[in-house]
């Protein structure tokens, strides 16, 4: 099945430390991949998206992600975490269902930031 | 700024009860979606629509009906609510083509079925 897996349900980092959130995909062909973020008591919003091309994509608020075909991965990174990054992060893949492109989301990784 | 609103924000009902969740978008988007969010499962697509009067089945449709009355309004109906439908429900909207990759989400409705 075409899907994404986020192996870490919860990650805790110190403010100012670097961050990597893991995402592994299962997809036949070249996937279109996304990271969405859900801040407390809000809906999800798009953080960044990968369309086939440059494997490193930049998002908002200093986030970036790197696509790796050999590792089937699309990990999210940030050089220095801020307390406002406390949120749940979802990886997603575009899946063709009939004639409809839908997004299939991972289970999410809850990020906690310590002072 | 894209805008999706949902009502109510919180709802408590009893098993067998009738519940309607409402969603309105002012983005002029064609596509609207209903998801449920559960710990360990992420977001799962219940129903979606690409225009007024249209309804498509998602991945977890059992026990849910939906109706798109206008381009702006999309409703999720639980006619015989069960405890397994206790969840956080999100509505979203998007454009077409690659515009469909950027979905705009509402703030969610938390439903508790006793």
Which domains are assigned to chain B? 4-97 (2.60.40.10)
What is A12-56 written as a DSSP string? EEETTS-EEE--EEE-SSPPPEEEEEE-TTS-EEEEEEE-SS-SE
Mean pLDDT for chain B overall: 93
- Subunit contact A101:B105, Cβ cutoff 8 A: no
pLDDT digits (tens, 9 = 90+) for B2-11: 599 999 999 9
- A34 contacts chain B (CB < 8 A): yes
A102 contacts on B by Cβ (under 8 Å): 45, 48, 58
Mean pLDDT of B24-53: 93
- A44 contacts chain B (CB < 8 A): yes
pLDDT at B61 over 80: yes
Distance in Å, alpha carbon of A113 to nearest chain B alpha carbon: 20
Which range is least confidently modeled, A1-15, A21-35, A86-100, B60-74?
Answer: A86-100
Which domains are assigned to chain A? 3-114 (2.60.40.10)
Q: How far apart are CA B58 and CA B18, in angstroms?
A: 21
- Subunit contact A44:B4, Cβ cutoff 8 A: no
Q: How far apart are CA B103 and CA B91, in angstroms?
A: 10
What is A47-67 written as a DSSP string? EEEE-SS-SEEE-GGG-EEEE
Q: Which residues pair with A89 in a beta bridge?
A: A37, A109
The pLDDT confidence band at residue A97, using thresholds 50, 70 and 90, is confident
CB-nearest to A102 from B40, B45, B107 is B45
User: B22 vs A101, which has greater pLDDT?
Assistant: B22
Residues in chain B: 114
Mean pLDDT of A12-20: 97
SS3 label, residue B109: strand
pLDDT at A91 over 90: yes
Mean pLDDT of B55-75: 96
What is B8-77 written as a DSSP string? -SEEEE-TT--EEEEEEE-S--SEEEEEEEETTTEEEEEEEESSTT--EE-SS-TT-EEEE-SSSEEEEE
pLDDT digits (tens, 9 = 90+) for B97-107: 777 788 999 99
């Amino acid at each position: 099945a075409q899907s994404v897996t986020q192996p870490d349900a919860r990650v805790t980092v110190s403010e100012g430390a670097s961050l990597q959130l893991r995402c592994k995909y299962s997809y036949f062909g070249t996937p279109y991949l996304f990271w969405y973020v859900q801040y407390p008591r809000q809906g999800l919003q798009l953080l960044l998206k990968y369309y086939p091309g440059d494997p490193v994509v930049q998002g908002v608020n200093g986030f970036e992600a790197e696509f790796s075909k050999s590792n089937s991965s699309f990990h999210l990174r940030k050089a220095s975490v801020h307390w406002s990054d406390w949120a749940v992060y979802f990886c997603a893949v575009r899946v063709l269902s009939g004639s409809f492109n839908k997004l299939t989301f991972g289970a999410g990784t809850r990020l906690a930031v310590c002072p | 700024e894209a805008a999706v609103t949902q009502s109510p924000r919180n709802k408590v009902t009893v098993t067998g009860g009738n519940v309607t969740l409402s969603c309105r978008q002012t983005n002029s988007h064609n596509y609207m979606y209903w998801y449920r969010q559960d710990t360990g499962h992420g977001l799962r697509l219940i129903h979606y629509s690409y225009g007024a009067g249209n309804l498509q089945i998602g991945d977890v449709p059992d026990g849910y009906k939906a109706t798109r009355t206008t381009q702006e309004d999309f409703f999720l109906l639980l006619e015989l609510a069960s405890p397994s439908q206790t969840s956080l429900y999100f509505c979203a909207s998007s454009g077409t083509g690659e515009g469909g990759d950027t979905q705009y989400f509402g703030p969610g409705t938390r439903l508790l079925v006793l």
